[in-house]
Amino acid sequence: MKVNDFLDFPVPEPQYKIPITKSAEEPYFVRNKEPSVGLFSDLLEGGSDLVAALNSQLQALAPLIRSPEAVNGELSTDDIHLFAQLHSLSIIAGIIYPPEVERYRQAMSRLSGVALLDEHAI
C-alpha cells in the first residue's frame, strides 16, 4: 500500500458547522473535564516532570525509526498510529524531538497533509 492510497480516500465534509467562540466553549470544557482529570492549573504546574519523561521516551524512539517516510522502512499502520501520537504531542511546549524523530514528524506531516501544532504549543 502506498501513501497516496491513504490520501485519496474520500472524507465527507460535515453538513453543519457550529460556531463556538472561546469564551463560550472554555467554561463548559473546564466544568466538565476538571472533575475527571484535576485542576488544569495544577496539571500545568506539574507538567515539567511529564515533559522530561516524554523527552526520555522520544530519545528511546529515535533509533527505532528506519526512515523518515516510514518507521519500519515500509509504510504501514504503525505509521498511522505513531504519527497520530507524535501529532498529539506537538501541542505540548518543551518537548525536544531527537533529529530522527523530528525528520519523521516533518515527513509524515507533509505526506499526510496534517499540520503539526508546534506553533500553538502550551
Dihedral (CA of 106, 104, 118, 99) sign: negative
**pLDDT tens digits, 87-122:** 999 988 899 999 999 999 999 999 999 999 998 887
Residue position matching grid coordinates 522502512: 73
Domain ranges of the chain: 47-120
| Neighbouring-strand partners of residue 67 | 70
Set of cell numbers at residue 24 = 463560550
CATH of domain 47-120: 1.20.1050.10
From CA 40, how far away is CA 30, in angstroms rounded? 8
**Residue 1: partners with Cβ closer than 8 Å, 6 or more residues away:** 75
Share of the chain above pLDDT 90, in %: 50
* Tens-digit pLDDT profile for residues 62-93: 999 999 999 999 999 999 999 999 999 998 88
Q: What pTM does this model have?
A: 0.68
